[in-house]
Amino acid sequence: MPQHRWPANVELVASSWMAEGARPAADAGPCPIPIERRVAAAVAAGFAGIGLNRADYEALIAQHGAAGLARVLGDGGVRHVELETVTGWWNDDPDGTCWRAAYDAMLSFCAHFPVRQIKLNGEFSAVPASIESMRAGFVRLAESAAQAGTIAALEPVAFSNVRNAATARLIVANSAGHGGGVMLDCWHFARRGIAPDDLGGLTGAEICGVEISNIAPDIVGSLFEDTVDHRRLPDEGVYDVAAFLRAVGDAGYAGPIGCEVLSIRLREMPIEAAMQTAADSARRTLNAVAMVRT
């Protein structure tokens, strides 16, 4: 079988928290760095897309309006955005105060700018929702996403009730390719001790996005602190990120690669240096990966 490398022109996406130079938190506010500067830094570093978290997105819409934000992104050279994150979506929300209003607001931006996907997380409480209720809720979100021209992307997270690709696949089920998909972040594989090639049976048609970073040999602080403060660059940790990329490529995924290096180290840099450092590491990692395809 011939060997292939990831194409040199594969698109990179700067994840929301990294692109904002911000520490993820439940009560996070809008990013203090002007969106114009963030866009310029990401594009100059070679990112084709950027992410916006919920609070930041809502603040930018209030400041610029949807059409205005779309102009800032497009004029700056951004090709697409990812919006995040929505949780609680398996619950009924008749008055729209829990999650529906936020999700609908994100969907509405699709009319103004290419929204590649909207990230969804599972539950973080001690008494999680059932897989059945989550599957039913996901169907509704995927249908809405398909109508808007985007994807509802469910991301397994190491400390949620959706901890691995196999669980995410059960929830997404028949919605894959019909407005729904699974977003794979190799950090959550690494910290759960999941082998790089254990994709839970996912095919390329079911995978809608991929993110890379790396880990230190041991957890630093709590698992949450390690998640948001101490990730390593893709080519600087102990996890076999190349094997992970090879596995998703062999499964048939050939879309953009997100870079989500949440670390104090990057946050202490000017946003321009942080974006360039992350992009260079991602490119080195991708250039080193040889994939076998039939």
Summarize pLDDT for 18-57 with one digit per residue, the tens. Answer: 999 999 876 778 899 999 999 999 999 999 999 999 999 9
When pLDDT is cut at 50, 70 and 90, the band that residue 2 belongs to is: very low
pLDDT digits 0-9 by tens, 175-187: 999 999 999 999 9
The average pLDDT across 67-94 equals 94
Q: Which residues, 6+ apart, have CB-to-CB distance to 262 below 8 Å?
A: 17, 18, 23, 24, 213, 227, 228, 229, 231
Closest to 138 (Cα-Cα) out of 153, 157, 156:
153
pLDDT digits 0-9 by tens, 142-168: 999 999 999 999 999 888 888 899 999
The average pLDDT across 268-274 equals 97
Closest to 89 (Cα-Cα) out of 151, 26, 152:
152
Residue 132 CB burial class (10 angstroms; 0-12, 13-18, ≥19): exposed
pLDDT at res. 1: 41
d(CA 141, CA 138) in angstroms, rounded, equals 5
Calculate the CA 129 to chain-centre distance.
Answer: 22
What's the maximum distance between 2 C-alpha atoms anywhere in the chain?
55
pLDDT digits 0-9 by tens, 211-228: 999 999 999 999 889 999
Sole residue written with tokens 């603040």: 59
Query: Could you tell me where the DSSP H helices lie in the chain?
Result: 16-20, 35-45, 54-76, 100-108, 131-148, 165-172, 186-191, 223-229, 241-251, 264-267, 271-287
